[in-house]
Amino acid sequence: MSNVQVPKAEDLWKGDKPVFDPSKVTVVFVLGGPGAGKGTQCALMVKDYGFVHLSAGDLLRAEQERPGSQYGDLIRHYIKEGLIVPMEITIKLLENAMADAMANPPKLTDPKLEAGWENGKGRFLIDGFPRKMDQALMFDKVVCPSAFVLFINTDEDKMTQRIIERSKTSGRDDDNLESLKKRFKTFRETSMPVVDMYRKEGKVADIDSSVPIPQVYEQVKAALNKHLSF
């Protein structure tokens, strides 16, 4: 891996307020182990609620492939090893993607959903983030305090089956048994404490994703209706 310097958080975010105002910008974190079904549920919510879906993993993979990126090799190494990419990189990518969406809101045909993006408002699903305590605390402080967490969860056997199936078409370096084992370990040891912290704050909606997709989505809709006012 190359020895690229990662910028320090205090040099990236200097203001004393978050970049986005949580009274206008709604952020829902979507967490769960690899293969839990986060992406599938996010796609359904985008359609019905007018969210913009930002996957931390997708943004990192795009940055890894971006010609001229100084972080390409570093990101590739972390992803292959199932490790957590340094938070400054991930949070900056998310902030930039949010700013892009605020500047160019999604085209929505339903006027009710369109209203969710008027007058400086916006709504985001942030998928696969925060995966570590430092990034949770930093994002809430410098980018936008989150509204609540959808924790999409099933057992590791089911998640493994789904990832092995996905590996036939995903082309992902980390969709293999060896990387998957490391990703589960990272999830248990590093990401679960984040879920536990938000749980203590009453901000977690538990979603059982062992059941078929439409039944998972029923639970997701009930959670959104409970935690959000739209």
**Other residues' Cβ atoms within 10 Å of the Cβ of residue 230:** 13
The set of residues, in sequence order, having a beta carbon less than 8 Å from that of 11 and lying 6+ positions away, is: none
Residues with Cβ within 8 Å of residue 181, at least 6 apart in sequence = 82
* Alpha helices, H only, 70-212: 72-80, 87-103, 111-114, 133-142, 156-170, 177-186, 192-200
Number of residue whose CB is nearest ligand AMP: 57
The count of residues interacting with ligand AMP (CB under 6 A) is: 18
Confirm whether residue 84 is marked as ligand binding.
yes
Least distance from ligand AMP to the Cβ atom of residue 77, Å: 9
Q: How many whole angstroms separate alpha carbon 215 and alpha carbon 122?
A: 27
Q: Which two tokens stand for residue 138?
A: 């930093």
Closer to ligand AMP at the Cβ: 78 or 198? 78
Footprint (CB under 6 A) of ligand AMP, residues 17-36: 34
37 is a contact residue toward ligand AMP (CB under 6 A): no
Q: 36 with 30: CB under 8 angstroms?
A: no
Known binder of ligand: residue 166?
yes
Distances 193 to 16, 106, 136, 182, 196 between C-alpha atoms, Å: 26, 33, 10, 17, 5
Q: CA angle, corner 55, sides to 114 and 67, nearest 5?
A: 110
**Rounded distance, CA 141 to CA 118, Å?**
24
Question: Considering only residues 145-184, where is the footprint of ligand AMP by CB under 6 A?
Answer: 174, 183
Residue 183, annotated ligand binder? Answer: yes
Cα(219)–Cα(212) distance, rounded to whole angstroms? 11
Residue of 42, 79, 93, 147 that binds ligand AMP (CB under 6 A): 79
* Closer of 95 and 116 to ligand AMP (Cβ): 95
Closest separation in Å from C-beta 199 to ligand AMP: 18
Q: Which of 44, 46, 84, 197 binds ligand AMP (CB under 6 A)?
A: 84
* Cα–Cα dist 36/14, whole Å: 36
Closest distance to ligand AMP from the beta carbon of 95 (Å) = 13
CB of 214 to ligand AMP, least distance (A): 23
Instruction: Kindly indicate which of the ranges 11-19, 103-111, 124-132, 213-221 contains the residues binding ligand AMP, using the contact rule CB under 6 A.
Output: 124-132
CB closer to ligand AMP, 50 vs 63: 63
Question: Residue ranges for the binding site for ATP?
Answer: 35-40, 166, 211
Question: Residue ranges for the binding site for a ribonucleoside 5'-phosphate?
Answer: 61, 83-85, 128-131, 135, 172, 183
Question: Which residue ranges make up the site for ligand AMP (CB under 6 A)?
Answer: 34, 56-57, 60, 78-79, 82-85, 90, 128-131, 135, 174, 183
